[in-house]
Chain A
């Protein structure tokens, strides 16, 4: 299987454009851009998000089916894309909230929020920890021991 960067070559360019447009949005904010402009930017962001998800799904399925090895480079590429994508999100979420508080209905706002939550969640566990797990062959601790340890912690804190 070719690397995901070569299978999805346009994502880097689109992310650069998306970031630039989001930056331009911030700069132009005082000129009261319209809700339609915001919707266009969200639509573009979601289009890129879906492309990254498509690359992610293709990679994941190839590894599951053993038609591609689990390689750090592929996972790092996806991590870079997701990290890049999430950068403008905080500012855009604020803009969505501002428009909605003024009574505007912002198209695809719910999908955009869901995408932001998903990307943050998948980036919430460091990649180097996760991919090292393949070497862990320990049997693991039973649930009862974990529950007992928590019970002891709660009792000690009383």
Chain B
């Protein structure tokens, strides 16, 4: 059963930063979070550093501008007593397209 999604203020700030960079990429981030909400237990990684209580969901947004891909790390939590996840933080890395770290 899908989960509802709520956004914590820090995650909203992080999302605003992505939207300022590229609104289309931000829209893709929302699509991926919708996908996460369909099955967070399967899609997320076990919590670990930087926060041992927040599972991670990581994905690429390709071609975020002429020179970069974007690697996104979503940290979230399960809301007690509800079928909801709370988006806590969104980390982002701009990776140059010619970097060996880019999506394969």
Contacts and interface: CB of A to CB of B under 8 A. Distances in A.
Given A130-B51, A133-B88, A124 B93 contact: yes
Contacts of A131: 50-51
Interface string B48-80: 111111100010000000000001010100010
- Tell me whether chain A's interface is mostly helix, strand or loop, or mixed: helix
B30 A147 contact: yes
Contacts, number: 124
A87 to B, nearest CB: 15
A122 B30 contact: no
A88 to B, nearest CB: 15
B93 A133 contact: no
Contact of A153 (B23, B48, B75, B100): B23
Contact of A136 (B5, B10, B15, B100): B10
Give chain A's interface residue range (CB within 8 Å of chain B): 35 or more
Contacts of B4: 142-143
Interface residues of B, number: 43
A6 B20 CA distance: 44
Nearest to A112: B100
B88 A143 contact: no
A133 B8 contact: yes
A125 B89 contact: yes
Contact of A82 (B8, B14, B49, B89): B49
Interface stretch (A16-24, A28-36, A59-67): A59-67
Interface of B: 4-10, 12, 14-15, 19, 23, 26-27, 30, 33-34, 37, 46-54, 58, 71, 73, 75, 79, 86-93, 99-101
Interface of A: 53, 56-57, 59-61, 63-64, 70, 75, 78-79, 82, 93, 96-97, 113, 116-117, 120-125, 127, 129-131, 133, 136, 138-143, 145-147, 150, 153-154, 157
